[in-house]
């Protein structure tokens, strides 16, 4: 927990999870209402509830879309000053060095392709491209 | 008169994000659009070999000339100039225009109300375009 950002991040997750809980509750409530319904016309009275219950965004997708937006904005800004990245390796290097430094304040600890076995770190992610599987570690 | 005709921004998959045509050339709008789309094809061709984001001159015919720019994230920008005008912009000036608009683009996507992939509107672009057309007077 080095950055105030981490606390903010935890708070975002909590909020999103709460929203998820609300959605599940609304769904359940809708289920019980549905059982006691007289006719299809009555359903219009519960329009708000229906809207809430059938939102097609769960907590994970919500978080993912936040991450996507933030990452997109950041990468555009960070790569503005960078030279043109042509090869795949250049792009990966850029992510690990410049992008990581500007986002997390340091470079990645480790970068491996599928030619080597990766060790266990606090944090790592995999991604695939045409030729390689990459494993990046370290926040 | 430097003859800046229009400025266009396209997303990675060539969806149009921003377009502006100098009101002076409004009569030839269709022609300019057609020319821009032709130039867009050349962006793909040049981007693969390019070593910098500025792609140089893309295409020219009797009436128009176009210059291209592609960001590291694949956003394409096209500047169309009037080929018949007497004075023309220098290479350095064109680079500067693209750089400035890249900044405007960054600012615009940072707007929380902007939805990714939709056409853009922002005061940065409005100001940038105004400057662009005023220098060409």
- ipTM comes to 0.77
pTM of the full structure: 0.76
What pLDDT is recorded for position A112? 67
Among the candidates A78, A95, A122, a domain finishes at A78
What pLDDT is recorded for position B8? 94
Q: Residue A116: is its pLDDT beyond 60?
A: no
pLDDT-based confidence at A118, cuts 50/70/90?
very low
**Two structure tokens written together for A45:** 């009275």
| 8 Å CB contact of A73 and B102 | no
- The domain that holds B79 is classified in CATH as 3.30.450.70
Measured between beta carbons, which residues in chain B are less than 8 angstroms from residue A84?
50-53, 70, 72
Radius of gyration of chain A (CA): 22
The reply to whether A11 and A42 lie within a common domain is: yes
Q: Residue B68: is its pLDDT beyond 90?
A: yes
By CB atoms closer than 10 A (0-12, 13-18, 19+), residue A109 is middle
The reply to whether A90 and A68 lie within a common domain is: no
By Cβ distance, the residue of B53, B102, B116 closest to A84 is B53
**B101 interface with A at CB cutoff 8 Å:** no
Q: How far out from the chain centre does Cα A27 lie?
A: 24
pLDDT-based confidence at A117, cuts 50/70/90?
very low
Q: How far out from the chain centre does Cα A120 lie?
A: 22
The reply to whether A101 and A55 lie within a common domain is: no
Cβ atoms < 10 Å from Cβ of A81 = 9
Report the C-alpha gap between A109 and A103 in whole angstroms.
Answer: 14
What is the torsion angle, in degrees rounded to the nearest 10, for the CA atoms of residue A45, residue A50, residue A52 and residue A55? -150
**B96 interface with A at CB cutoff 8 Å:** no
Q: Residue B10: is its pLDDT beyond 90?
A: yes
By Cβ distance, the residue of A72, A84, A94 closest to B51 is A84
pLDDT-based confidence at B99, cuts 50/70/90?
very high
The reply to whether A8 and A61 lie within a common domain is: yes
Q: Which residues contact B57 (CB under 8 A, 6 or more apart)?
A: B65, B66, B67
Alpha carbon separation from A8 to A4, A77, A79 (Å, rounded): 6, 22, 25
Between B103 and B86, the higher pLDDT residue: B103
What is the tally of structural domains in chain B?
1
Tell me how close the Cα of B100 comes to any Cα of chain A, in angstroms.
11
The reply to whether A70 and A101 lie within a common domain is: no
Q: Residue B59: is its pLDDT beyond 90?
A: no
Q: Residue A56: is its pLDDT beyond 80?
A: no
3-state secondary structure of B80: strand
B127-136, pLDDT tens digit by residue? 999 888 887 6
Show the domain range for A139: 83-139
The reply to whether A71 and A97 lie within a common domain is: no
Between A127 and B93, the higher pLDDT residue: B93
Between A86 and A137, the higher pLDDT residue: A86
The reply to whether A9 and A68 lie within a common domain is: yes
pLDDT-based confidence at A134, cuts 50/70/90?
low
**B11 interface with A at CB cutoff 8 Å:** no
Q: Mean per-residue pLDDT for B30-40?
A: 91
Q: Mean per-residue pLDDT for B22-45?
A: 90
**B103 interface with A at CB cutoff 8 Å:** yes
The reply to whether A9 and A67 lie within a common domain is: yes
What pLDDT is recorded for position A135? 64
Q: Residue A105: is its pLDDT beyond 90?
A: no
| 8 Å CB contact of A76 and B73 | yes
Show the domain range for B55: 4-135
**Two structure tokens written together for B49:** 């070999």
**A12 interface with B at CB cutoff 8 Å:** no
| 8 Å CB contact of B72 and A84 | yes
What pLDDT is recorded for position B78? 94
What pLDDT is recorded for position B69? 93
What pLDDT is recorded for position B18? 93
Q: Mean per-residue pLDDT for B77-86?
A: 86
């Amino acid at each position: 927990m080095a950055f105030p950002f981490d606390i903010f991040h935890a708070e975002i997750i909590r909020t999103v999870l709460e929203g998820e809980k609300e959605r599940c509750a609304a769904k359940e409530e809708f289920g019980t209402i549905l059982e006691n319904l007289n006719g299809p016309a009555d359903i219009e009275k519960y329009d708000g509830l229906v809207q809430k219950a059938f939102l097609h965004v769960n907590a994970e997708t919500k978080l993912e879309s936040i991450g996507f937006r933030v990452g997109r904005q950041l990468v555009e800004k960070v790569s503005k000053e960078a030279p043109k990245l042509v090869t795949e390796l250049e792009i990966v290097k850029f992510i690990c060095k410049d992008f990581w430094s500007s986002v997390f304040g340091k470079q990645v600890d480790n970068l491996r392709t599928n030619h080597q076995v990766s060790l266990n770190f606090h944090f790592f992610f995999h991604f695939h491209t045409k030729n390689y599987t990459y494993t990046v570690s370290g926040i | 008169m430097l003859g800046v005709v229009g400025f266009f921004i396209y997303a990675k998959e060539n969806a149009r994000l921003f377009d502006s045509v100098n009101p002076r050339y409004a009569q030839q709008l269709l022609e300019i659009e057609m020319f821009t789309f032709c130039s867009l094809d050349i962006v793909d061709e040049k981007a693969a070999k390019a070593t910098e984001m500025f792609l140089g001159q893309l295409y020219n015919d009797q009436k128009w000339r176009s210059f291209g720019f592609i960001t590291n994230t694949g956003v394409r920008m096209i500047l169309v100039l009037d080929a018949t005008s007497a004075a023309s912009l220098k290479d350095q000036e064109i680079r500067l225009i693209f750089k400035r608009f890249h900044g405007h683009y960054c600012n615009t996507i940072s707007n929380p109300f902007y939805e990714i992939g939709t056409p853009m509107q922002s005061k940065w672009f409005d100001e940038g375009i105004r400057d662009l057309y005023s220098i060409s007077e």
